[in-house]
Structure 1
Amino acid sequence: MRYEELSAEQALSAAKDPGSIFIIPVGSVEQHCGGPLGTDLMIAEGVAEAACEHLTSSEFKCYMMPAIGYGLSAEWSLAPGTVSLSLSTFEGLIEDVVRGLLRLGAKSVVIVNGHYGNSPAIEAALRELMRELPHDAVILQVNYWEALGIDVGHASEAEAEVMRALGYNVNFGRCGCEASPSPRGAKVYVRPPRPRHS
């Protein structure tokens, strides 16, 4: 069920139900060579919808939140079509949406992330919320590539395969641009993927 289609009374009732899970897809709008600017968003929404369908067929009730379409894509800010949020805006948006659900009474919130660059900021936003979480609330960040156990890269064949699996006919082709370097030559490192245990 889509959250935006609920009445206020239905939303309150859903939040009070301990079997309710609220899923927030989060993506980005950035160049993907010859592919859609919203690739990461489309994947996040597709994965979230599939998760909702699966959960709804079990004993849970799943509510799809309106997607957060814009993310952190500063490295592609010079590429045509890219729209990136500032770090403070993005973290604040994540915190405020989750906080709104918690205020309503939601106990289970899942963020399905479709863009690698969003990961550390989502984690930081959730850590910021930890001190105000009710003791029985569960907030989960799911990076789709980690859940699938794949390394997708950017505009790669693996990412195209995920898009095709979701029903999109995508061919990224060759990129005519590269990530923007730092004007001062700085390099940014993020944590490597967690090792998978067999």
Structure 2
Amino acid sequence: MSEIHWNRMTAAQLRELAAENAVVLLPVGSTEQHGPHLPTGVDDLLAAEVCRRTAHLAAAHTRVVVAPSLWAGLAEHHVAFGGTFTLSLPTYHALLRDLCRSVLRAGFSRILIVNGHGGNMSALNTLTNELTVELGTPIAFANYFGAGREVIRDTLETQDALMHACEGETSMMMAAHPELVRTEHLDAARGPAITLPAESTEPVYRFVSFDGITESGAAGDARTASAEKGERMLAGCAAALADAIAGDPWAAGPER
């Protein structure tokens, strides 16, 4: 199996892949509280895992490189629980700009930012536009849980989409990193149902700290989670992203 991880390859190997017009996946997530049963790195770990699987699936039609993940994001709403890193929007913009510029200067021209954190969604929609203009090349962006929306909906029993430290995220962590799930705390891993702010139909938006929503730090009910559900969702999200790459979403953008 060919190596896919940027930081496990030599510069010469990466130059060869750039010459082959390989796609670079840039996983972005967050490091933040995830209830009593999950580690703070869930969003980062799951985005990286979906990218890994996507790269292997996409190898049937194109080479794909998985860049080191950006493990910090926009997580002010989780700070009250502790255990959380958060960035300001200008810092996040600057980090993404410099990371994407580095990828382009290494000779690559197709970048897909793959997000695993709900709090990044609204910013990434806008930043993708700005980065495309600033860098003079099309930058593409996807939420892995948006790409796999149908398989997530069809797999979960207690919810229709990902929430937070919920049945969905817990299931995927059970499949990808079972050693990090504190199953002895699953009974306490529940809270009210939520809709991600970027997908809300409410007419007015305002900031709400997550401790005002749930005492446990979880939204949704993790008690029905299973590794089998997690495997199905991870595989489905990766397949959806691989299909998206095959469609070459960069083709319609401005030339470098």
Q: Is the alpha carbon distance of 1:9 and 1:193 closer, same or farther for their aligned partners in structure 2, counting shifts above 3 Å?
A: farther
RMSD: 2.5
Q: What SS class does the counterpart of residue 28 from structure 1 fall into? A: coil
TM-score by length of 2: 0.63
Aligned partner of 1:53 in structure 2 is 56
Q: Separation in 2 of the partners of 1:52 and 1:43?
A: 14
Q: What SS class does the counterpart of residue 61 from structure 2 fall into? A: coil
Structure 2 stretches of 5 or more lacking a match?
A: 153-160, 202-256
Amino acid paired to 2:40: L
State the Cα distance separating 1:86 from its structure 2 match: 1.4
Aligned partner of 1:148 in structure 2 is 148
Structure 1 stretches of 5 or more lacking a match?
A: 179-188
Q: Separation in 1 of the partners of 2:48 and 2:67?
A: 10
Q: Is the alpha carbon distance of 1:158 and 1:7 closer, same or farther for their aligned partners in structure 2, counting shifts above 3 Å?
A: closer
Q: Separation in 1 of the partners of 2:114 and 2:178?
A: 19
Q: Separation in 2 of the partners of 1:191 and 1:4?
A: 32
The one of 169, 173, 180 equivalent to 1:159 is 169
Which structure dedicates a bigger proportion of its chain to helix?
Answer: 2
Q: Is the alpha carbon distance of 1:76 and 1:132 closer, same or farther for their aligned partners in structure 2, counting shifts above 3 Å?
A: closer
Q: Is the alpha carbon distance of 1:193 and 1:109 closer, same or farther for their aligned partners in structure 2, counting shifts above 3 Å?
A: farther
Alpha-carbon contact 2:52-2:66 (below 8 Å) kept: yes
State the Cα distance separating 1:144 from its structure 2 match: 1.5
TM-score by length of 1: 0.80
Give the fraction of aligned pairs with identical amino acids, expressed as a percent. 30
Alignment of 1:1-198 (within 5 A): 1-18=4-21, 20-34=22-36, 35-56=38-59, 58-134=60-136, 137-149=137-149, 150=152, 151-168=161-178, 170=181, 171=183, 173=186, 174=188, 190-192=197-199
State the Cα distance separating 1:13 from its structure 2 match: 2.4
Q: What SS class does the counterpart of residue 25 from structure 1 fall into? A: strand
The 10-residue stretch of structure 1 (44-53 or 121-130) with the greater mean CA deviation from structure 2: 121-130
How many equivalent pairs are there?
Answer: 180
State the Cα distance separating 1:50 from its structure 2 match: 0.6
Q: Is the alpha carbon distance of 1:87 and 1:33 closer, same or farther for their aligned partners in structure 2, counting shifts above 3 Å?
A: same
Q: What SS class does the counterpart of residue 34 from structure 2 fall into? A: coil
